[in-house]
Structure formats: structure tokens, C-alpha cells
Amino acid sequence: MSGLRARQKADRHRRIIEAAAELFRDAGYEGAKIETIAAQAEVSVGTIYNYYQNKGDILGAIVSMEVNEVLNAGQGVVANPPANVGDALDTLLGIYIEHSLHYLSKEMWRQAMAISTQLPDSPFGQAYTALDRALTEQIRALIARLQAIGLVRRDIDGQALGELVFNNMNMMFIEFVKREEARIAELRAAIRRQNRILVAAIAV
Amino acid sequence: MSGLRARQKADRHRRIIEAAAELFRDAGYEGAKIETIAAQAEVSVGTIYNYYQNKGDILGAIVSMEVNEVLNAGQGVVANPPANVGDALDTLLGIYIEHSLHYLSKEMWRQAMAISTQLPDSPFGQAYTALDRALTEQIRALIARLQAIGLVRRDIDGQALGELVFNNMNMMFIEFVKREEARIAELRAAIRRQNRILVAAIAV
DNA sequence: CATGAAAACAGAATTGACTCAATTTTAGAA
DNA sequence: TTCTAAAATTGAGTCAATTCTGTTTTCATG
């Protein structure tokens, strides 16, 4: 089934996402009306709800693209980490943080995070949780790699450590997007300071 | 000014909160209509908005009561902690977690957390951030106490450690309220496992 | 080509949070 | 007690997300 119907469907998906991304950026998430998104995507309001369960899911689709890009970028670090535990963590988390505002504004992040806790069972809610888990898993993989290289003690609980590092970073990131005036450099510095305690504990 | 007007005002506040708390529990946050809360509190819709900026602020008032109670309970542990770092942390965080579902359902927590990231500058958003900071500060105080007693190394960065412990617990708690079937015992066990890494690093 | 069932679309109607202009109540001065 | 300005209340009206129902489009089949 890759006839006209399927092509039109893919095209409408794309048009809706493009229109929404533009409007979310320009007018903010709250400011972007479904009616306006529909008009700009040249579909009707009803059609948008045929493609996405609710406004949050449209944002969700955009967030997912962003996070998947970040996960990709992170793979490089895991494959070839800096030869120092502190730097390795800082480099990986740095990639997450530096990429984060590439496509999404702080307001979009706030909305996305809010929706994912508000509606954990919606398509986006579940996708967001999966993305969080993928990020945690990548940090765990980095730690495993460092253990293999011999930079991190073998008797460390890599799973628990990965969760600890991710949870702390994520919470700091939430606070970061909540304050419009917060700067990326400060965020990274604060996380480095916190991780220093862990690094001291786990480095060989 | 403690005449009739002030008394009526306090009384209406109380009635609104009581009506809302009951309806939030019974019908859920989304299910509780402002109109219904107003009817049950025997005030008009407009009056509710005279007392609270929005629906979220009503929930906020309830959350604040809960968290303040928790902070109070925590003081006891800080003043007189178990003579073991792991137990001390587990006892304090245990109090937070065990109290958490006393007045608030998981759904109410989800909504409260969502609103606090969605509207960080609303009265409730700011109050929620302040409560988080107070909890972090209490954990930091416990660590300082343990350092004073000689159970935790003096050269540990207590501030950073307090943030790390709080952020991790908070993120775990968020995941906990997102899954209706998650159990408190599992949550506590997972956090203990994560903190074990820290305890090993900081204990004298 | 016709044709009918399934899929997708359109946009009017519904719903519920929030606003606002008009009205009522209170406090305290005369 | 009477009166007035300030404070508070009221509920009908607005606005935007979401739902619903009738219509149109697609496509497999004969």
C-alpha cells in the first residue's frame, strides 16, 4: 500500500510538523493555535486530530527527532571516550546539553516535560520515557566502556551509577529550562561539580 | 482587620481547598470542574479566581501543605540521625517518600509537577521550586550533621552531594508517580541501591 | 471502467478554564 | 443610623482544544 493514499499521508504528516515547529518557535507552544497550524499545513482541524491524539503529541514528534539526534551524537563518545573519567562524563553530558536548544526553545522543553508527566500513557508520554531510558542506557554503556578500558573500578554498580548520573543531569536540566535566564555554561559547571564526587569514588 | 470580612475570607479559602481536595481525589484533577468545586464550596466561579490565579494554584496550595508536613517530619532525622550514613540517608528519604501519598494521589502529583515546569513563574511554580530547594537544603543539613559527627569525610562537597541525592530521589519519584502500578518499597530499594555508590565514597 | 466498502477529511458543535462588567456587601466616618 | 468608597462576589461571555457526524476520496474487485 504505497499508492496515492500513503504518499498523501506522509506529506500531510510532514506539513503538519513543519507548520507546528515554525509556529511553536514563533508564537510559543501555548500561543500556537491548532486552527492556525491547520491553516498553515493546509489541512483541517479534524485532520490534525486524525494524525495526532492531541496538541502535545505534535510537540512530542518534534522532541523525539531532537533527542534521537542527540543519542546519535552520543554514540561517538561512547565508542571513543576521553581517557579520563571526569572528561568522559563531561563530554557525553555536554553533547546532550549543547544540542538541546538546537531545535527546541526552553518553552518547548517545559511543555514537553510537563506533558510527559501529565499524560505518561499518551503516545508521547511513553515515547518520552523511552527516550529517557535510552539516554540512561547510553551513559551506562559509557561507564561499561570505561570499566573495560580500566579507568573505572570493576566493582562499581554500573547500572545504578548510570541512573544516578542521568537523573541528576536531567533534574538539573529541568531547572535550567525553568529559568529563562539560566546559561548553558553554568549548567555544565554545576553538573561537573556534582559529578566530581562520583568521579572521585569510581576512578581506579 | 480581623472583622467579618477577614473571617469570611479565611472561611472561603478553607471551603475552596476542602472542596477541591475532595474532588481532585474522587474525580481526578482533570475531572474536577471549577464549576463543581465552586458549587461544592458554595461560592461562584469568579470568586475562586479571586482567591487563586488558576486551577493549578488550588492544587498548589494542597501540595504545599503536604510538603511542609514532610519537611517538618524530616527535621527530627536531621537533629538525631541514625549512626550510619546509609541508614541516615535512607531514613530521611524514606520519610519523604512514605508521606508523599498521604494527602495526594499519584495523579495529583503528576499534575502538580507538570504545572510547576509548565508555569515556573506562576505563584505555585515558584512555591514548588522553593519547596524543592528546602528539601535539598534539608538533605544538605543532614550531611553536614553527619560530617560534624564524624561519619562523613570532612573534605566532601556537602552542597553538591545534597543536590545529587535530592535530584536523584526526585527524578525517581517522578518516574514512580508516572507508573500507577509502581510500589513504594521498590522505589526505596532502587534509591538505596543508587545511594550505595555515594555512601561508599563519602563514609569515613 | 463502474462500484461499494473502508479510510480520511472537513468544519460545526461541545466543553471547560478563565475573564470582566455589573452588582452586592462591608467598614467606618459623619 | 445613614451613607459612601473600597472590596468582594457573581455568572454570563470568551476562547481554544477536542469531539463528532456527515461527506468526500481512495482503491480493490468484478
Q: Residue B42 sits in a domain of what CATH number?
A: 1.10.10.60
**What does the pLDDT look like over B63-90, one tens digit per residue?**
999 999 999 999 999 999 999 999 999 9
Chain B partners within 8 Å of A171 (Cβ): 166-168, 170-171
Extract the C-alpha cell encoding B181: 502500578
pLDDT beyond 60 at B2: no
**What does the pLDDT look like over B117-176, one tens digit per residue?**
999 999 999 999 999 999 999 999 999 999 999 999 999 999 999 999 999 999 999 999
Answer yes or no: do A4 and A100 share one domain. Answer: no
Answer yes or no: do B18 and B111 share one domain. Answer: no
Residues of chain B above pLDDT 70, percent: 98
B171 versus B102: the higher-pLDDT residue is B171
Chain B residue closest in CA terms to A167: B168
φ, ψ for residue A26, nearest 5 deg: -75, -50
- Give the mean model confidence (pLDDT) for residues B183-201: 97
Q: Is A123 exposed, middle or buried (0-12, 13-18, 19+ CB in 10 A)?
A: middle
- Residue B33 CA to nucleotide D21 C1', Å? 27
* pTM of the entire predicted model: 0.94
- Pairwise CA distance, residues B51 & B16, whole Å: 9
Q: What is the CATH number of the domain that holds B83?
A: 1.10.357.10
Answer yes or no: do A38 and A79 share one domain. Answer: no
Answer yes or no: do A77 and A31 share one domain. Answer: no
- Pairwise CA distance, residues B11 & B139, whole Å: 36
Show which positions of strand C are touched by protein (CB under 7 A): 7-12, 16-21, 26-28
Show which positions of strand D are touched by protein (CB under 7 A): 7-13, 16-21, 26-28
φ, ψ for residue B43, nearest 5 deg: -135, 175
pLDDT at A41: 95
- Pairwise CA distance, residues B137 & A13, whole Å: 47
- Pairwise CA distance, residues B129 & B120, whole Å: 8
CA distance A72 to chain B (A): 24
Answer yes or no: do B35 and B90 share one domain. Answer: no
Q: Which residue has the cell 470568586?
A: B47
Question: Given pLDDT bands bounded at 50, 70 and 90, which one contains residue B6?
Answer: confident
pLDDT at A4: 63
What is chain B's mean pLDDT, rounded? 95
Answer yes or no: do A7 and A93 share one domain. Answer: no
CA distance A83 to chain B (A): 22
Q: Which residues constitute the domain of residue B148?
A: 55-202
- Pairwise CA distance, residues A10 & B42, whole Å: 52
pLDDT at A103: 87
Task: Look at residue A112 and give its three-state secondary structure.
Answer: helix
Partners of B152 in beta bridges: B203
Tell me which residue of B176, B28, B150 sits closest to B98, measured CA to CA: B176
- Give the mean model confidence (pLDDT) for residues B32-54: 96
A171/B171 Cβ within 8 A: yes
- Residue B49 CA to nucleotide C19 C1', Å? 9
Answer yes or no: do B12 and B69 share one domain. Answer: no
pLDDT at A2: 58
pLDDT beyond 50 at B14: yes
- Pairwise CA distance, residues A144 & B195, whole Å: 19
Partners of B203 in beta bridges: B152
Partners of A203 in beta bridges: A152
- E strands, B29-88, in order: none
Question: Given pLDDT bands bounded at 50, 70 and 90, which one contains residue B4?
Answer: low
B197/A202 Cβ within 8 A: yes
Tell me which residue of B98, B80, B89, B109 sits closest to B166, measured CA to CA: B89
Answer yes or no: do B12 and B43 share one domain. Answer: yes
Answer yes or no: do B181 and B95 share one domain. Answer: yes
pLDDT beyond 70 at B192: yes
- Residue B1 CA to nucleotide D6 C1', Å? 14
Chain B partners within 8 Å of A178 (Cβ): 117, 120, 125, 129
Number of domains in chain B: 2
Chain A partners within 8 Å of B86 (Cβ): none
Considering Cα of A116, then A118, then A124, then A126, what sign does the dihedral take?
positive
Q: What is the ipTM of this complex?
A: 0.92
Answer yes or no: do B95 and B191 share one domain. Answer: yes
* DSSP character at residue B152: B
- Pairwise CA distance, residues B144 & B133, whole Å: 16
Answer yes or no: do B93 and B173 share one domain. Answer: yes
pLDDT at B7: 84
The helix, strand and coil proportions of chain B, stated in percent and rounded to the nearest 5, come to: 80, 0, 20
- Residue A126 CA to nucleotide D15 C1', Å? 30
What Å distances lie between residue B116 and A98, A119, B56, CA to CA? 24, 15, 9
Answer yes or no: do B32 and B74 share one domain. Answer: no
pLDDT beyond 50 at B1: no
- Pairwise CA distance, residues A79 & A91, whole Å: 12
Are A42 and A19 a contacting pair, CB within 8 Å? no
pLDDT (tens digit, 0 to 9) for every residue of chain A, 204 residues total? 456 678 888 999 999 999 999 999 999 999 999 999 999 999 999 999 999 999 999 999 999 999 999 999 999 999 999 999 999 999 999 999 999 999 899 999 999 999 999 999 998 999 999 999 999 999 999 999 999 999 999 999 999 999 999 999 999 999 999 999 999 999 999 999 999 999 999 998
